[in-house]
Structure 1
Amino acid sequence: MRPRISVVIPVWNGESRIAATLNALATQTAKADTFEVIVVDNGSTDRTAEIVQSYDFVTLLSEPKPGSYRARNRGVDRAQGEYILFTDGDCVPTCQWVDQALVEIDRDHVGIGIWAGQITMFIDEGGAFFSSRYDKLLNGFDQERNSAGGRCVTANWLCKRDNLLKIGGFNNDALSGGDVDCASRFVAAGYRIRYAPKMTVGHPTRANLLELVRKRRRVIGGRWMLRGVAQEGIRRAIFLCTQEYFRQAKRVLKSNIELWAKPGVLMIVLSLFLVSNYELLRLAAGRAAYRS
């Protein structure tokens, strides 16, 4: 029997988190024959593949060429479901996640291209205080806000497989920002993005400043390639980055973060602004986009 939903999860060196993701999928309330689970190993050098293989309900694929969006496309190619439900290898879906996806599918869905599921942030054990608060406030995982702006992130994304293929899938060469790019093509094709608050996954905050720096460098590389920033030139890129810095600082000041903690979070905003400019200068000099 063909499953209605294919859950597709790209992962790279995820040995510390992938088991939590798959354990959550093993306890779904949805009937087992309504969905399949596909994990695409994106060239891991740790025990990720070994861990995934220990789950007999999971199909493990390999995509050795770097890029989570290329890995997602690999999973979509193999998927048997009419619908694709994406999450990441560090996310923890609620036990009703797949069931709620089925509820969304069975509702009136004329014109819906993507369902943007809710992403709740949780602080990992040992997570740094200021980094966790920065990530929870400014990470871009507010899917209600994303969907209103014509965006969705692949940590919790549901769409019809045929529609995804029709608009060209994800950009294989993107190392970051490929979900925003793909969502914009859905919108350009006339589809809407609907927020699905009951279709929920948990996502850990970045544990420390180093993890935030790594993510920031990936994001800047994705923007450089996908949003035409390279064509606009380095001065324009730094100007846009500076605008974002002031927007983020303003959000921190207006947020409900503890008053005494705001200076620490603002220092992280400033640090990542400096990292962004460093990465822009690297890219302008012809260096390759950062992946790690």
Structure 2
Amino acid sequence: MVNPSPLFVSVIIPVFNDTDRLRHCLQCLAQQTYPCDRYEVIVVDNSPSPDPSLSPLIAEYPGMVLAHEPRRGSYAARNQGIKLAQSTVIAFTDSDCRPAPDWLEKGTAWLTRYPDCGFVAGQIRFFFQNPDNPTIPELYDSLNFLQQQRYVEECHFGATANLFTFKARFDSVGFFNSDLFSGGDHDWGHRMFAAGYPQLYADDVVIAHPARHSFRELRNKALRITIGGHYLTNANNQPFKAFFSEVLPEFKPHLQYAVDCINDPTLKGWRRKIECYLVYLSIRYLKAAKRIQLYLSHHWFKSFKPKPKSL
């Protein structure tokens, strides 16, 4: 009996002003254990005008394609990549990620084993600039963001930093919402869940992801997620009392997280445990304040918007 050919895969990577880290990502993809004639890599430049640094880089790697999507947002860029894909299988990662050598081999093995699934979301391992002395923001990021197994099993989506699916699934549930700058994977995953497709977490499908080194990077990430979630849930349409009943408790200290910091073995020493808790409180308060700002600014604009004059 002749073994069937491995699935053909299109790897889609959106990139915006990140050529240096993209180089590391492409090097990892060029060194895959998967047959090189069974996958293509589509890099989608999401700059307003084409980034001149990308063409020479992509030219170094046979089988890699450069596309351009001027519409702002990584989900618009991913949608463009899907349209260009020549495969039956789509694999998503990001320009700052480093896929393991067997990433494609393991990811496609899961899809072959479970051909009726909606998607397979793989493990995201964090790495630090200085592994022996990570910063508090790096530790906090690694403990609280991109928790892929929890996303799949509790929240019904997978982060597009490490996601495999069949191209046909986009015919079934639609493309990513390109109006969203954050949370598009959450929205798409929920549509997949509502359609009844099984969602799988695969611990052996691994990419490495850099932890955010500074508080500024962490803050920007948290606020981007907050803004995306605010519009994704149509929070501006909530009644005033219901909205503030939900948001104001976020300003209370969350003592359970303090207990979690104390018990976490990755936080060495009391100083680090306390600093991590303080970062948590800062991020929590910033997110709550941003939600209130978005809600009040929407209703302020709505109340002062001039009404059309009757003829």
TM-score between both structures, scaled by the size of structure 2: 0.84
1:16-46: CA deviations, max 9, x gaps?
A: 3111100000101111111110011111786
User: Is residue 39 of structure 2 the alignment partner of residue 39 of structure 1?
Assistant: no
Query: Equivalent residues in 2 for 1:1-292 (5 A)?
Result: 4-43=8-47, 49-50=54-55, 51-110=57-116, 112-125=117-130, 129-139=135-145, 141-149=146-154, 150-232=156-238, 233=240, 234-236=243-245, 238-239=247-248, 241-242=250-251, 248-249=257-258, 251-256=260-265, 257-260=267-270, 261-284=272-295, 285-286=297-298
Question: Measured at CA, do residues 106 and 185 of structure 1 come closer, stay the same or move farther in structure 2, by a change above 3 Å?
Answer: same
In 2, Cα distance between the equivalents of 1:5 and 1:174? 26
- The share of aligned pairs that are identical, in percent, is 31
In 1, Cα distance between the equivalents of 2:252 and 2:199? 27
Question: Measured at CA, do residues 236 and 24 of structure 1 come closer, stay the same or move farther in structure 2, by a change above 3 Å?
Answer: farther
Contact 1:2 1:80 in 2 (8 A): no
Write the letter of the residue equivalent to 1:121.
Answer: F
Work out the number of aligned pairs and report it.
285
SS at match of 1:17: helix
In 2, Cα distance between the equivalents of 1:244 and 1:187? 33
Question: Measured at CA, do residues 6 and 135 of structure 1 come closer, stay the same or move farther in structure 2, by a change above 3 Å?
Answer: same
In 2, Cα distance between the equivalents of 1:42 and 1:244? 39
Contact 2:111 2:165 in 1 (8 A): no
In 2, Cα distance between the equivalents of 1:71 and 1:20? 20
1:248-288: CA deviations, max 9, x gaps?
A: 5554344222242111111111221232133223322149x
In 2, Cα distance between the equivalents of 1:244 and 1:193? 34
- Structure 1, unaligned runs of 5 or more: 288-292
Write the letter of the residue equivalent to 1:163.
Answer: R
Contact 2:48 2:72 in 1 (8 A): no
Contact 2:118 2:166 in 1 (8 A): yes
Write the letter of the residue equivalent to 2:23.
Answer: A
Question: Measured at CA, do residues 278 and 53 of structure 1 come closer, stay the same or move farther in structure 2, by a change above 3 Å?
Answer: farther
In 2, Cα distance between the equivalents of 1:246 and 1:47? 50
In 2, Cα distance between the equivalents of 1:163 and 1:17? 30
Write the letter of the residue equivalent to 1:206.
Answer: R
Question: Measured at CA, do residues 95 and 254 of structure 1 come closer, stay the same or move farther in structure 2, by a change above 3 Å?
Answer: same
Question: In the TM superposition, what is the alpha-carbon distance from 1:192 to its structure 2 partner?
Answer: 1.1
SS at match of 2:75: helix
Question: Measured at CA, do residues 280 and 107 of structure 1 come closer, stay the same or move farther in structure 2, by a change above 3 Å?
Answer: same
In 1, Cα distance between the equivalents of 2:268 and 2:48? 39
1:66-88: CA deviations, max 9, x gaps?
A: 11111111100111110110001
Contact 2:14 2:95 in 1 (8 A): yes
Question: In the TM superposition, what is the alpha-carbon distance from 1:11 to its structure 2 partner?
Answer: 1.1
Question: Measured at CA, do residues 225 and 245 of structure 1 come closer, stay the same or move farther in structure 2, by a change above 3 Å?
Answer: farther
Question: In the TM superposition, what is the alpha-carbon distance from 1:108 to its structure 2 partner?
Answer: 3.6
In 1, Cα distance between the equivalents of 2:73 and 2:197? 26
Write the letter of the residue equivalent to 1:145.
Answer: R
- Structure 2, unaligned runs of 5 or more: 301-311
